[in-house]
Each structure stands twice: as structure tokens, then as C-alpha cells.
Amino acid sequence: MAKSTIYAGLEIGTSKICVVVGEAKRDGTIKILGVGTAPSRGVRKGEIVDFQKVQTVLNDALVRAEEPSDVMIRTVFLGVTGGHIKSLNSRGAWRLQEDQGEITEDDVEEAKEIARNVEIPQDHVFLHSITRQYIVDGQEGVRQPIGREGRVLEADYHIIHGVRGRIQNAVKCVREVPLEVEDVVFTAIAAAQVVLNREAKAQGALMIDIGGGTADYVLYEDGMIAASGCVPLGGDHITQDIAMAVQIPDRRAEELKVTEGSCIFDDLSPEDIVRVEDDNGFMIAECERSFLNEVIHLRVREIFEQVKTRCEGHIGHLAAGIYLTGGTSLLKGIDVVAQDVFERKVTRAGSAPVSGVTATFEKPQFSAPIGLIRYAQILDQEKPFMSPLRKLGRKMADLLSVVP
């Protein structure tokens, strides 16, 4: 097809704003052409609070991504997150007409419509509705029901929804840059596309993308998405805990977390003291390493426990275990805590299956933005090819079926 397959993904994170330009090839691989990041400002817990600051930083990131890739970015896939994003699974059953043998496209549409018609809070909008499976006469796990024989068709959907206003604000902010938003994607969904491979999804896996402000998670079971959501806790909370415990400014606490922090506080001697210096090299605070680590440990454990309570009932089915990604997953000992909480195998993962200037971007921080490119690619592949003639035919059929 003549259509360009170069996509741009934009993630406005709490700690960094990241633009990724990637080429989605026809064979299903991705080549990353350029990545531009800039430390984020004006974002709290994954949500934009200060438009102007975000736009300034976003322009920086945009330029940095455009330069190496030699691409003029006009439209982006925007990753959104935030504590307001919730998910649910819904099924819709559609009974076929008596004289009808095979399931047709219209039946599938009808079942989908019923499944999508679920109660969500009034101010919420659908972000994604992902087909999990079809069930034909009680037979589960059907991927492609059209053409099958059956009486009852059920569509099983995973629906992710969020507060309309907040999602729109993110889109608005990006539009003012100006950039066109091609699609809005929940970041966890995007990240999962590159972190989890087909096998992991089939076996059952929980991906947790712990970023600066939020921990987004997606849980796959039998190759189907089973749960997803966002815990609005992240690296910033760890930093804040340290800042308040050790009584140092946030910036120092962040530094301390990255350089010295760990989640393991056992077996540390009381003599092991961590010192915090200011810009001039003067010591402004010091504390025991075990104390620092315990502060971090408590928060990390809490984040995992929050995720765990939200995935209740699914944890037992995770043969592939837990996949940690996102900037905070670089924290030392975080896998031990995850192992402790979930009692499953824990893998720390970045985005593996991409080519291009990859080496730099296999870091877990870039899972979500690279995932956006992958998401765009999948979306393009799934789009059913329809010749213009066929389209016309369908339109005519529609018209004829509704004679007043």
C-alpha cells in the first residue's frame, strides 16, 4: 500500500515526555527511527496539570525526535494514563435468527454492540474495547466466529474507560502544540505489546509499568487481556517518602533513590551510612542505609499490593509470571519485593523486539512509547481490507434492509 507506515508515539509521563518515531514494516517488525525525550514538568500522577509547561517540554522532545529520524511529525498516537482509568469485562449474547445457519458479520456486530452496552460512570468514555474472545454456543475461545454454525454468539469484551474531561484535556494540550492525535491509547496496553510476547500472553502474565507517577498494569490470561488499570502511585511517591523521611529536598531524594536506593534492607549493618551532599559538596543529611531502604521497600511493596488487590482472582493463573517495566523497575531489589508479594516468577523487561537505534532504547523507560508504535502497527494490520466495490455493496444492502 502506498500509505506511509511511519508512526509517532507520544507519551506524556510524570518524569519524562517521550516522542518515538518508528517505521512499522509490512513483515511486522518495527524500526525505531528516532527518540526524543525531555524531563517532564507540569505533570502529576500521569495527568497534565500545567498545559504551558508541558507544551514547552513537548516541543523540545519533538525536535529531538525529528532531527535524527528526519521526519516531520504531524500526527501522533498519544499515550494516556491516570488514576481515573478503569477496566471491566463484559459479555454480550446475541441469538441468531431461527432460519439462519452461519454466523455473519452482522451478527458479530450485534453481539459487540450488546457487549459494549455496559454501565460506566456517566462522565466516563470508552478508551478501548478489546475483543477478548467469541463464544459460540458455549464454546469458548473462538477467535473468528464468522462462517461458523451456531445458535448463540457471545462477544467477550475488555473495556477500558476513563473520565472524558481528563482524556480530552490531554488531547487538547497536544493539539495546541499543534499535533494531530490519531488515537488515544492507554499506556499499559501499548507497553504490553512490546513487553509481553505471544507466549507470555498465552501462558498468563501480568505486566506492571511503574513510571514516575503511576503504575499501569495489564494482565493477560490464556492469550486474552483479563484486567488492566492504573494505580496512581509511582517513583515520585518513593522520592517523596525519602524526602520526608531523610528530610532533604525532592531533587536530592530523587538522586539518592537512583544512586543509592534499593528495596532490600535486611543484612545491612547499622554502620552503613548514606550521606547526602548539596551542590557545593556540603553534607546536608545522612541516614542509615537500612532505614533508607526500608522506606523505599515499604512504598514499593504497597504499590505491588495495590496492583494485586485490583487483579484479585487472576494472580493464580500467571504461568509466565510478572513482567516489570517502566523507569522505576530499574530500582535495585524491586524484583525481590514483587516476588514476595505475588509469589510468581518476576522478569524485568524492556522492549525487546525492535530494530534500528535499539540498543539505547531497550531500557524499560521506553516500553510504553515504543509500544505505541507497535500498537499503531497492530491497528493497521487488523483493519480489514475492503475493496471499494464491496463497501458500496454493503451500503446498498444496508439501505435495502431498512425500507421505511
Among the listed ranges 1-9, 44-52, 71-79, 346-354, the one in contact with another protein (CB under 8 A) is 44-52
Residues 6+ apart with CB under 8 A from 297: 263, 264, 265, 333, 337
Which of 83, 145, 162, 321: binder of another protein (CB under 8 A)? 83
Residue 166 binds to another protein (criterion: CB under 8 A): yes
Residue 182 binds to another protein (criterion: CB under 8 A): no
Residue 309 binds to another protein (criterion: CB under 8 A): yes
- Shortest Cβ 255–another protein spacing (Å): 14
Nine cell digits for residue 391:
463497501
Which of 6, 181, 245, 379: binder of another protein (CB under 8 A)? 245
Question: In what helix (H) or strand (E) does residue 255 lie, and over which residues does it extend?
Answer: helix 250-259
Residue 298 binds to another protein (criterion: CB under 8 A): yes
Interacting positions 346-385 with another protein (CB under 8 A) = none
Cβ proximity to another protein, 45 vs 132, nearer residue: 45
Residue 304 binds to another protein (criterion: CB under 8 A): no
Give Cα separations from 23 to 26, 30, 182, 267, 356 (angstroms): 10, 6, 16, 48, 9
Residue 169 binds to another protein (criterion: CB under 8 A): yes
Give the single-character DSSP code of 247.
Answer: I
Which of 193, 290, 325, 328: binder of another protein (CB under 8 A)? 290
Q: Which among 228, 250, 238, 267 has a CA at the least distance from the CA of 328?
A: 238
Bridge partners of residue 205, in order along the sequence: 220, 321
Residue 400 binds to another protein (criterion: CB under 8 A): yes
Residue 389 binds to another protein (criterion: CB under 8 A): no
Which of 86, 201, 299, 374: binder of another protein (CB under 8 A)? 299
Task: Output the DSSP codes for 261-278.
Answer: -BS--TT--TT-EEEEE-
Instruction: Provide the total of helices (H) and of strands (E) in the chain, helices listed first.
Output: 12, 19
Going residue by residue from 200 to 239, which x/- string records binding to another protein, judged by CB under 8 A? Answer: -------------------------------xxx--xx--
Enumerate long-range contacts of 255-260, CB under 8 Å, 24 or more apart.
Answer: 256/292, 257/296, 257/331, 260/289, 260/292
Residue 97 binds to another protein (criterion: CB under 8 A): yes
Cβ proximity to another protein, 90 vs 351, nearer residue: 90
- 3 state SS of 173: helix
Which of 2, 4, 117, 312: binder of another protein (CB under 8 A)? 117
Residue 249 binds to another protein (criterion: CB under 8 A): yes
Cβ proximity to another protein, 294 vs 343, nearer residue: 294
Nine cell digits for residue 213:
507517577
Q: What region, left, alpha or beta, does residue 344 occupy, with left being phi > 0 and alpha being psi -120 to 50 degrees?
A: beta
Task: Output the DSSP codes for 328-363.
Answer: GGGSBTHHHHHHHHH-S-EEE----S-EESHHHHTS
Residue 59 binds to another protein (criterion: CB under 8 A): no
Cβ proximity to another protein, 45 vs 374, nearer residue: 45
In total, the chain counts a number of residues equal to 404
Cβ proximity to another protein, 73 vs 248, nearer residue: 248
Question: In what helix (H) or strand (E) does residue 162 lie, and over which residues does it extend?
Answer: strand 152-163
Residues that bind another protein (CB under 8 A): 41-42, 44-45, 47-51, 53, 83, 95, 97-98, 106, 110, 117, 165-166, 169, 231-233, 236-237, 240-241, 243-245, 247-251, 265-266, 270, 285-287, 290-291, 294-295, 298-299, 301-302, 306, 309, 400-404
